[in-house]
Amino acid sequence: MAGENSIADGGAYKFDQPVIHTIGFSDLRDVLDKGMADFIAMPTHVIFLCLIYPIVILISARIYAGYEVVWLAFPLLAGYTLIGPLVATGMYELSRRREQGLDISRAKAFHVLQRHATRSIGVLGALLMVIYFAWLWAAWIIYEKYFGTALPASITDFAFQVFTTPAGWSLITVGSAVGLGFAIVVLTLSVVSFPMLIARDVGVGTAIQTSIRAVIANPVTMMAWGLTVACALLIGSLPFFVGLAVVLPVLGHATWHLYRKVVEF
């Protein structure tokens, strides 16, 4: 269909400074409701299970093969959320298609790879990967600061050292603060930039600038959104990450609707 290759709301449309709207907490509830509705209409949990479990299995196997990487398990999994906006790109596309009445079969989640945004999404995705690896490097430095090069004898020993010693609590405090900093940077750069690249024929610079402006215009609401995402990811991770197969796509769909509320068309 001709509409399948068009940009959201019509043909190619370039602009420099889109209008940013101010939103409130009620809008966050609304986008979450719409995100859940999209997921129910287009269940994609199988796709996310395929994305999540190879990583979980790899980390688990490496830990049980030798405990030298046990300390890195949390930074790896926590850092995975930093590239969440890239992973959820297919969900933005499906929400766009459902909104326009187009084919919403699961395979269409990858239709974005055939559209105008491929190169820009790749560039922005590469930026998130750089931030992800920078976070892992920072986690390494923090661990060595408090524990040196000593390796835990077991998972139990590592947990004991982390939760019952001053060095462990310092690791938790500093690591959490640094991780929060990385998360804020990613939220600011990507909260609307990925959906915008799918919806409009704009450059990466414009998309990032718009995302930054959206956060500046809505600091409290966007921080509340970031906290909501973090809590949802934590809850989804508890039953051995099974819940993420639902949480991630719902958040992806909701982010599309958040973009639609914040950026004027």
183: left (phi > 0), else alpha (psi -120 to 50), else beta? alpha
- pLDDT of res. 89: 85
Compute the average pLDDT of residues 6-23. Answer: 63
Kindly state whether residue 8 falls inside one of the protein's structural domains: no
Q: What is the CA radius of gyration of the chain?
A: 20
Give residue 83's pLDDT: 81
233-258 residue pLDDT tens: 888 777 666 777 788 889 999 999 99
Q: Which two tokens stand for residue 177?
A: 């603060």
Would you say residue 47 has pLDDT above 70? no
Domain that holds residue 98: 20-262
Task: Average the pLDDT over 182-209 and give the result.
Answer: 92
**CA-to-CA dists, residue 131 to 95, 119, 206, angstroms:** 27, 19, 20
Q: What percent of the chain shows pLDDT beyond 70?
A: 76
Indicate if the alpha-carbon torsion angle 30, 31, 35, 38 is positive or negative: positive
| End-to-end Cα separation, the chain, in angstroms | 23
2, part of any domain: no
Indicate whether 9 belongs to any domain.
no
Four-point Cα dihedral 246, 249, 253, 259, nearest 10: 120
227 within a domain of the structure (yes/no): yes
Q: Per-residue pLDDT for 157 more than 60?
A: yes
Confidence of residue 225 (pLDDT cuts 50, 70, 90): very high
Whether 3 maps to a domain, the answer reads no
* Domains: count for the chain: 1
Per-residue pLDDT at 16 exceeds 70: no
User: What pLDDT does 159 receive?
Assistant: 82
CB distance 171 to 162 below 8 Å: yes
Q: Is the pLDDT assigned to residue 7 strictly greater than 70? A: no
Say how many CA atoms lie within 13 Å of 258 toward its Cβ: 34
Instruction: Identify the band that residue 10 occupies on the pLDDT scale cut at 50, 70 and 90.
Output: very low
The predicted pLDDT at position 160 comes to: 85
Please enumerate, as own/partner, the contacts of 182-186 that have beta carbons within 8 Å and a separation of 24 or more. 182/79, 182/82, 182/131, 182/134, 182/135, 182/138, 183/81, 183/82, 183/226, 183/230, 184/226, 185/131, 186/82, 186/85, 186/128, 186/131
Residue scoring higher pLDDT (48 or 86): 86
Average pLDDT, the chain: 81
- What mean pLDDT do residues 105-125 have? 77
Report if residue 14 sits inside a domain.
Answer: no
Above 70 in pLDDT, residue 105?
A: yes
CB of 44 within 8 A of CB of 249? yes
Q: pTM for this structure? A: 0.82
63 located within any domain = yes
Residue 10 lies in a domain: no
Residues 176-205 have a mean pLDDT of 92
